[in-house]
Amino acid sequence: MKVVAFLGSPRPRGNTDILAEAVLEGARSAGCGTESHALRALHLHHCTGCGSCGTRGRLCIFRDDGEMLYQAVIAADVLLFVTPVYWYGPTSIMKTFLDRLVVFNTPEARPLVRGKAAGVVAAWEEKGPEAAGPMLKLFELGFRYLELRPSGNFLVDGAGPKDAVRGMSGVLDQAREFGAALA
């Protein structure tokens, strides 16, 4: 089984990167193969809604790092979308990636993702779950749209400073347990 994490934070080594590494560590301890892709380091055009998905012998008309990400999606058994919560939604780089997943909405490409497990790993500064609600709804609807199977989410509130999750009692152990349960 392969777990692939897509890291949506523009800030390296921040809370969500730390959580993702703990989740992937847990998945590896349960025998899964893992990989991660830091979206901040990649070149992704914004989807323009051109409707050319799957034409010209390619999933997308753009020649950018999206092609590599599509192959990672196809190779994965479990997709993890890792993002801090910004203004009650995912980061802009995560949203750009999500928009580009429309390439899997063709009769030829849908079977490449149908039934894959998908979950969210997120952290945010505010206390309480309300701040993540709109973002989680976006993912829920997106997963349903692509016929992905929800695998559960790992969510941490009250994580303001860059590496706050390191000092939060038990959080990294819980992240490892979440990762192991993905197997």
| Model pLDDT for residues 39-64, shown as the tens digit of each residue | 999 999 999 999 888 887 788 999 99
CA distance 103 to 47: 10
CA distance 52 to 40: 25
CA distance 23 to 134: 23
Q: How far is the CA of 104 from the CAs of 45, 77, 93, 137, in angstroms?
A: 17, 15, 19, 20
In this prediction the pTM is 0.97
Per the CB < 8 A criterion, the answer to whether 100 and 72 are in contact is no
What domains, with CATH codes, occur in the chain?
A: 2-181 (3.40.50.360)
| Averaged pLDDT in 10-residue chunks for the chain of 183 residues | 98 97 98 98 95 83 94 98 97 98 93 98 95 97 97 96 94 98 95
Rounded to the nearest integer, the mean pLDDT of the chain is 96
- Of 9, 7, 5, the C-alpha closest to 159 is 9
Query: Phi and psi for 82 in degrees, rounded to 5?
Result: -110, 120
